[in-house]
Amino acid sequence: MQVSHRAREMDLAIAFHSLDFHQRPSHTENMNDQNLRDHLLPLRWQYVVTAAPESWELAFQDIINVDASARIIASLSPGIFVVDSALRSVDLAQQLRTSGIFVRHLFLLLDVIVQRYGHECLPKIVDVSIGLRRHLNPAQSFSVQTRTLSQDGPGNFEVNTLVSNAFMALGFRLDVKHPDQAISIVCTDFAVYLGASSIAHNLSDWAGGMRRFARDANQLSRAEFKLLEALEVFPLDLPYQGTVLDLGAAPGGWTRVFRERGLTVVAVDPAMLDARLTKDRGVTHVPSTAETYLKKTSGSEIFDLIVNDMRIDTTRSARLMCEASKLLKRDQFALMTLKLPAKHQRRRIRNTLSVLSQSYRVGGVRKLFHNRSEVTAFLQKR
């Protein structure tokens, strides 16, 4: 499927501009008469959807799987496209949260400014944003999430600051890190796309799902970001003073994160761990492959959590996770990354989950912002 990044964008923007968005009821309105709500709601909704650039077709398939009538009506940038759907945002988000893998972020599109992007757009952006305030709850915190795809004009920070100040002047409470709701703004060369919605309907607290972490001075590897993001995305409460089995641990990034949170770790890897971890009494390094360790280890369920970031074939990795489940306490959790091939990724995920289902319930699979050619699976022991 080929979609030009600018093809039809002007037509789309002009068409949206001709609609009377102000007649649309807010999802937060209290309307007791369901028939009235159904009468007022338009038959179709438009969303700005974000995925990893290389995964946008898979992300669109996520949407097709929950709404077969959905269609892409514009591509704004690699990985950012506009979808037309019959589902309301609350329903689309709920279904994608349950079954979606590749959609990272979306927001309900409520208005479009048809104008070449530049500093002269700023007053209009503020004015239109304020006009969307009826879609927000003034008692809840908000943030402004801007993405400028144009090479010209003001950057994200300038737009965020102006719109945030306008909302705070009206009594809204700003919370950049953990907002309840967001004004979403995407600026392209020829148009500005705007929405206002609950964060729960956007799938991520962060603009475009781009969760960024400050680099820790003690960080051992980039892989730590994957774990930190997974701990936010999946409903996993780390056990207090629990014990973790880290398969494929070297150089020890995930082990370090768990130690910082008070857990003890058995780190299995034939390669050496970082020297700072070898001195840590809360870390037991087993210089072995996962296969050898699991064959030699027997006994009761001793681990509170099992994690696996090994760069091996996904089927083989899943079988090892099933073997490791004998060491996991009942109803406890596991995290693993599935390293995917360039083609047939969805088939590979499906086959791997079939193997894992022998020992685990699959709580979710997501391509996180910090995943590369991989996805992260959240599992619970049966």
What pLDDT shows up at residue 144? 98
- The string of pLDDT tens digits covering residues 237-260 is 898 889 999 999 999 999 999 999
**Sign of torsion over alpha carbons 98, 100, 105, 109:** negative
Distance CA 282, CA 99 (A): 37
Average pLDDT score, the chain: 89
Q: Say whether pLDDT at 39 is over 80.
A: no
- The string of pLDDT tens digits covering residues 328-364 is 999 899 999 999 999 999 999 999 999 999 999 999 9
**Coil, strand or helix at 107:** strand
What pLDDT shows up at residue 216? 83
Distance CA 246, CA 266 (A): 6
What pLDDT shows up at residue 26? 38
Q: Say whether pLDDT at 294 is over 70.
A: yes
Bridge partner list, 138: none
Distance CA 6, CA 153 (A): 18
- The string of pLDDT tens digits covering residues 184-199 is 999 999 999 999 999 9
- Higher pLDDT pick, 150 / 7: 150
Distance CA 354, CA 45 (A): 34
When pLDDT is averaged across residues 278-293 and rounded to a whole number, the result is: 95
Q: Say whether pLDDT at 3 is over 60.
A: no
Question: CB neighbours of 292 closer than 8 A, spacing ≥ 6?
Answer: none
- The string of pLDDT tens digits covering residues 158-177 is 999 999 999 999 999 999 98
What pLDDT shows up at residue 2? 44
CB-CB contact of 130 with 167 (8 Å): yes
What pLDDT shows up at residue 300? 74
Q: Chain centroid to CA 327: how far? A: 30
What pLDDT shows up at residue 239? 87
Q: Say whether pLDDT at 90 is over 60.
A: yes
Q: Say whether pLDDT at 299 is over 90.
A: no
Question: CB neighbours of 75 closer than 8 A, spacing ≥ 6?
Answer: 3, 4, 5, 7, 9, 81, 82
Strand order in the sheet with 105-108: 71-77, 80-85, 45-50, 105-108
pTM: 0.86
Domains of the chain: residue spans and CATH:
9-209 (3.30.2130.30), 223-381 (3.40.50.150)
Span of 133-137, 216-220, 274-278, 338-342 with lowest mean pLDDT: 216-220
pLDDT band at 42 (very low <50, low <70, confident <90, very high): low
pLDDT band at 220 (very low <50, low <70, confident <90, very high): confident
What pLDDT shows up at residue 23? 39
Span of 161-170, 206-215, 280-289, 350-359 with lowest mean pLDDT: 206-215
Peptide bond into 53 cis (omega under 30): no
Calculate what percentage of the chain has a pLDDT beyond 90.
80
Q: Say whether pLDDT at 373 is over 90.
A: yes
What pLDDT shows up at residue 24? 42
Q: Say whether pLDDT at 210 is over 80.
A: yes
- The string of pLDDT tens digits covering residues 108-145 is 999 999 999 999 999 999 999 999 999 999 999 999 99
